[in-house]
Structure 1
Amino acid sequence: MNTQLAHGPFDPSTQHGFVNPAVVHGSTVLFPTARELKNRAKAPFSYALSGTPTTKVLEDALSELEGAAGTILVPSGLAAVTVPLLAFLSAGDHCLVVDSVYFPTRRFCDGTLRRMGVDVEYYDPHIGADIAGLMRPETKVVFLEAPGSNTFEIMDVAAVCDAAHAGGAVTMLDNTWATPLFFRPLEHGVDLSIHALTKYPGGHSDLMMGSVSANAATLAQLRDTQMQLGVNGAPDDTYLVLRGLKTMGVRLERHQASALALAQWLEGRDDVLDVLHPALPSFPDHALWQRQFSGASGLFGFVLDGDADAAERFLDALRVFGLGYSWGGHESLAVPASLGDRTIAKGPAAGSLIRLQIGLEDVVDLQADMEAGFAAVHGR
């Protein structure tokens, strides 16, 4: 996989031997004749909104990683969620969304989709094939996220997709946590794989972009909706993602190893009630994770034995960990996780849930930083 990431589908011979693609800044494409202008739909590029040589290289690279028929680029991870939902839902439709979904996805579903007249219903992440009982004739989309946001539940993706397809629905999954290096959704029956490229592909907390990789049955409708909405990736951010992809494999190896080491250390502490990391054998969904995923990333959670004030003391004592949202970058982050939006997957019954993004720092320094946090909780 690292060889594939290092080289990708780009051919340096098309750019005078330079190993990286050129960054195309532009809007207008000129045509040599009026006839070619008229038939511009047949040209490889006709206007920058629909793509440039730079965006095509990233689309091709992501399609290759995902095993997809094609990929679209959009300006953020959230846009990568909203564009496919808009592409396949209309007034009067029913949409099933996993209850452990990323909160901004829920906000869009409860806001824009419901305002459009879409009936949104949330389901248990452990429902599996029983989702068939929630399907209706008007169910057009089943939305999955694995692992679940903040609480990291693992879904039986193939079982949910099989039931959804039997009911005539399109399936889409937010694959940001695992990336296509550790999970390839289309191989499990997902129609559209969603990714916040802001996270691991970018890898340096310096850009925002999202992608949707689609199978052959859904690609045309997805692309048409993208063009109706008028969104695509910006050239410089596209280049930064292309650069980030080259090292994503080796970075993920480090994120994974450091996160697992710290999760195991946290699991042995008396002041930690639970550690929510799918790669831990103690995690309830560990066997299901093993069956479907080939690795784990650097994002997980733990339940502090203490109230919200104790969690605040822990967080305020941190110096290596930053307090900030997003993840997938080089730096470690810690945030309190709020589950107040949940109706089914309500998370831990006691304690305070803290989400950790483990970056590329030395594990010994991150552990010492958290030791200081625990000392602050205990008033030391």
Structure 2
Amino acid sequence: MKKNRQTQLIHAPRKAPQSIHTVQPAVYRASTIIFNNTNALFNRHWSDDYDYSYGTHGTPTTFNLADQIAQLEGGEYCLLAPSGLSAINLVNSCFLSHGDEVWVADNIYGPNMEHLRNLQTRYGICVKVYNPLDVHSFQPSEKAKLLWLEAAGSVTLEFPDLVALVKKAQAQNILTALDNTWGAGLAFNAFDFSDAHLSVDLTVHALTKYPSGGGDILMGSVVTRDKALHHQLFRMHALQGISVSGDDVAQVQRSLASMQLRYEAQSHSALKLLDWLKQQAKFSQVLHPADPDNISHSYWQAVCQEQHSAGLVSVIFDAKYSLQDIRQFCDALQLFKLGFSWGGPVSLVMLYELQHMRSLEHTHLQSGILVRFCIGLEDSQDLIQDIQQALSVLD
């Protein structure tokens, strides 16, 4: 059929062969996906492992990354979301209804707590808080539906009694969801983390951090081994119109090959800083689960493989230093940049007032302003010297 030039610009008369093998997989950018015929259109179902029907449901690019993240985490099924928080919200909105009880650790990621409090106010979800180091503080009622876990916890980095908490939740048929961003699928296998082969039901991972590795991509994931749970999540995923960019997926995909190398390098640097930070008189406490003096060290040691411990270290300054003093310290840092997140090449620092972040009393934490160091890929000795020169403003 002879075509007008305008039509030819849309329907090219020639098309290069589509099948070649390259180091990186091809990037598919799609909203509309073309069906070969009506049989292909109608002989498909949303529950198929690879349902190519619309861009929000998935493309070879997104499915490829999802499969790799599922394998990394030790699961079977994975859904991608535009951010780690979006992945968290997907879990909450999928499994919580009016009157349900959800339990969260007192050191939970702040935006997750804020989202749950919003659900409590608007939809009657009951939010309960427990001490992640004390399994007895987790006292679920018959309405308990979901237990959130973090290993390690946000900011103060306590590693929970994961074994005891999961056992207790399983005994009462409570769904367990682990924010696994710190462990990144490398520190331990969340779907097989004890001699008894204990497993959480779901993991959420902010791919923004270690999988991305560049500090420039936002993405999250939800992984499970349970097909029924995956289908529940997939339906909510579709109803909410959650999708990710093929170009962003390709960026994360490209970074996966170096992820373990970067994780181990940043973990190693963090341990070097830990030893030095513990010797500094201006800090009343240094927080890191690999520290033998840390209150949660035994829980970390029991679960984490090869003693992996990520690239985060927090310190609490002596109480004599004011918030203004700590702001001056942070402003004096040169290599550490003030910013949220972690896992990228640039080291980051952030300061926190714990009294505004916790609802339970934590006697193991000293009073004072907390500063969290997120270690990048700079030389560890250079980072130590940077902290040392910044501490001099407090003299």
| TM-score (structure 1 length as normaliser) | 0.92
1:94 match: 101
Which of 317, 321, 325 pairs up with 2:340? Answer: 325
Distance 2:190 2:134 in 1: 18
The CA deviation string for residues 10-55 of structure 1, in whole angstroms up to 9 with x for no partner, is xxxx951212111101111111222321223267411111000000
Q: Which residue identity lines up with residue 136 of structure 1 in the other structure?
A: S
- Give SS of 2:383's match: helix
2:119 is the counterpart of 1:104: no
The CA deviation string for residues 263-316 of structure 1, in whole angstroms up to 9 with x for no partner, is 110101111111101111111111211111120111120112222122112111
Q: Following TM superposition, by how much is the alpha carbon of 1:236 offset from its aligned partner in structure 2, in angstroms? A: 1.0
Q: Following TM superposition, by how much is the alpha carbon of 1:365 offset from its aligned partner in structure 2, in angstroms? A: 1.3
Percent identity at matched positions?
37
- Contact between 2:74 and 2:190, CA under 8 Å: does it hold in 1? no
Equivalent residues in 2 for 1:72-87 (5 A)? 72-87=79-94
2:258 match: 247
Which of 341, 344, 358 pairs up with 2:357? Answer: 341
1:196 match: 206
2:217 match: 207
Distance 2:68 2:113 in 1: 29
Which of 24, 31, 39 pairs up with 2:28? Answer: 24
2:314 match: 301
Equivalent residues in 2 for 1:210-249 (5 A)? 210-216=220-226, 217-249=228-260
Structure number with larger C-alpha Rg: 2
1:292 match: 303
Runs of 4+ more than 3 Å apart: none
Q: Following TM superposition, by how much is the alpha carbon of 1:131 offset from its aligned partner in structure 2, in angstroms? A: 5.3
- Give SS of 2:191's match: helix
Q: Following TM superposition, by how much is the alpha carbon of 1:111 offset from its aligned partner in structure 2, in angstroms? A: 1.0
- Contact between 1:60 and 1:70, CA under 8 Å: does it hold in 2? yes
- Contact between 1:74 and 1:231, CA under 8 Å: does it hold in 2? yes
Which of 53, 61, 65 pairs up with 2:60? Answer: 53
Distance 1:350 1:108 in 2: 27
Which of 174, 178, 184 pairs up with 1:179? Answer: 184
- Contact between 2:285 and 2:366, CA under 8 Å: does it hold in 1? no
Q: Which residue identity lines up with residue 39 of structure 2 in the other structure?
A: R
Distance 1:338 1:352 in 2: 5
- Contact between 2:78 and 2:221, CA under 8 Å: does it hold in 1? yes
The CA deviation string for residues 172-205 of structure 1, in whole angstroms up to 9 with x for no partner, is 0101011101122122321001100000100111
- Contact between 2:101 and 2:144, CA under 8 Å: does it hold in 1? yes
Q: Following TM superposition, by how much is the alpha carbon of 1:367 offset from its aligned partner in structure 2, in angstroms? A: 1.1
Distance 2:71 2:137 in 1: 30
- Contact between 2:353 and 2:369, CA under 8 Å: does it hold in 1? no
Of residues 269-278 and 344-353 in structure 1, the stretch that sits farther from structure 2 once superposed is 344-353
Distance 1:369 1:54 in 2: 41
Change (3 A) 1:138 1:256: same
- Contact between 1:99 and 1:345, CA under 8 Å: does it hold in 2? no
Q: Which residue identity lines up with residue 194 of structure 1 in the other structure?
A: V
Distance 1:44 1:308 in 2: 53
- Contact between 1:280 and 1:286, CA under 8 Å: does it hold in 2? yes
Distance 1:15 1:131 in 2: 57
Distance 1:345 1:58 in 2: 41
Which of 315, 340, 357 pairs up with 2:330? Answer: 315
- Number of positions where the alignment pairs a residue of Structure 1 with one of Structure 2: 363
- Contact between 2:316 and 2:366, CA under 8 Å: does it hold in 1? no
Distance 1:157 1:186 in 2: 12
Q: Which residue identity lines up with residue 144 of structure 1 in the other structure?
A: L
Distance 2:63 2:57 in 1: 10
Q: Following TM superposition, by how much is the alpha carbon of 1:345 offset from its aligned partner in structure 2, in angstroms? A: 5.2
| TM-score (structure 2 length as normaliser) | 0.89
2:8 match: none
Q: Following TM superposition, by how much is the alpha carbon of 1:70 offset from its aligned partner in structure 2, in angstroms? A: 0.1
- Contact between 1:125 and 1:345, CA under 8 Å: does it hold in 2? no
The CA deviation string for residues 190-223 of structure 1, in whole angstroms up to 9 with x for no partner, is 1001100000100111110000101214211111
Distance 1:20 1:244 in 2: 11
Q: Following TM superposition, by how much is the alpha carbon of 1:113 offset from its aligned partner in structure 2, in angstroms? A: 4.1
The structure whose residues are more often helix, as a share, is 1
Any unmatched runs of 5+ in structure 2? 1-17, 193-197
- Contact between 1:323 and 1:333, CA under 8 Å: does it hold in 2? yes
- Give SS of 1:95's match: strand
Q: Which residue identity lines up with residue 202 of structure 2 in the other structure?
A: L
- Contact between 2:284 and 2:366, CA under 8 Å: does it hold in 1? no
- Give SS of 2:56's match: helix
Equivalent residues in 2 for 1:150-161 (5 A)? 150-161=155-166
Q: Which residue identity lines up with residue 205 of structure 1 in the other structure?
A: G
Change (3 A) 1:298 1:15: farther
- Give SS of 2:291's match: coil
- Contact between 2:98 and 2:125, CA under 8 Å: does it hold in 1? yes
Of residues 344-353 and 45-54 in structure 1, the stretch that sits farther from structure 2 once superposed is 344-353
- Contact between 2:51 and 2:57, CA under 8 Å: does it hold in 1? no
